Amino acid sequence: MTLAYVGIGANLGDARATVRQAMAALEGLPHTRVTALSSLYRSAPVDATGPDFINAVAALDTALPPSELLAALHRLEDASGRERPFRNAPRTLDLDLLRHGDAVSQTTALTLPHPRMLQRAFVLRPLAEIAPDQVTPAQLAAVADQVVERL
């Protein structure tokens, strides 16, 4: 089993309900068990438009390799009605594979660790809540100017 972290976000429709449903849906992934879920957080879109996002982070123990886990996350997004009309478009559900154990990858389909996670308070704050060893005080300080509200 490998410890993986997934960022969860939504800013269309009933975003809170969608994020909670996604948290529950992660339990149904094959060969995967949710070990921790953060609180919900609200943040303004970063490099995007639309309403505020509701965000969270989940920790998973999984036997799925990174590419299979990512494909399963994309299926959950698709089931929620996710459309990708343009980069950073508002979305019904966004599931980002942040880390997958110690895996390092840089392909067109998947970059691990997630390439922008250290620039986003809406990822670091909930990640620090459930896995404080994954986020340093300096990393949190670097995004302290980004407004993120714990709900």
**SS3 letters for the chain?**
CEEEEEEEEECCCCHHHHHHHHHHHHCCCCCEEEEEECCCEEECCCCCCCCCEEEEEEEEEECCCHHHHHHHHHHHHHHCCCCCCCCCCCCCCEEEEEEECCCCEECCCCEECCCCHHHCHHHHHHHHHHCHHHCCHHHHHHCCCCCEEEC
Q: What is the mean pLDDT of residues 92-100?
A: 94
Residue 89 clears pLDDT 70, i.e. is over it: no
Q: Is 116 a catalytic residue?
A: no
**Domains of the chain with bracketed CATH:** 2-150 (3.30.70.560)
pTM for the model stands at: 0.93
Q: Is 82 a catalytic residue?
A: yes
Q: What is the pLDDT, as a whole number, of residue 38?
A: 98
**Is residue 30 very low, low, confident or very high in pLDDT (cuts 50, 70, 90)?**
very high
In the chain, what percentage of residues exceed pLDDT 70?
A: 95
Q: Is 94 a catalytic residue?
A: yes
- Maximal C-alpha separation, the chain: 38
Q: What is the mean pLDDT of residues 22-50?
A: 93
Q: What is the pLDDT, as a whole number, of residue 92?
A: 85
The pair phi, psi for residue 75, each rounded to 5°, is -65, -40
* pLDDT higher at 108 or 8: 8
Q: Is 42 a catalytic residue?
A: no
Segment 72-87, tens digit of pLDDT: 999 999 898 876 655 6
**Minimal CA–CA distance to 23: which of 72, 95, 124?**
95
Catalytic residue (choose from 94, 99, 120, 125): 94
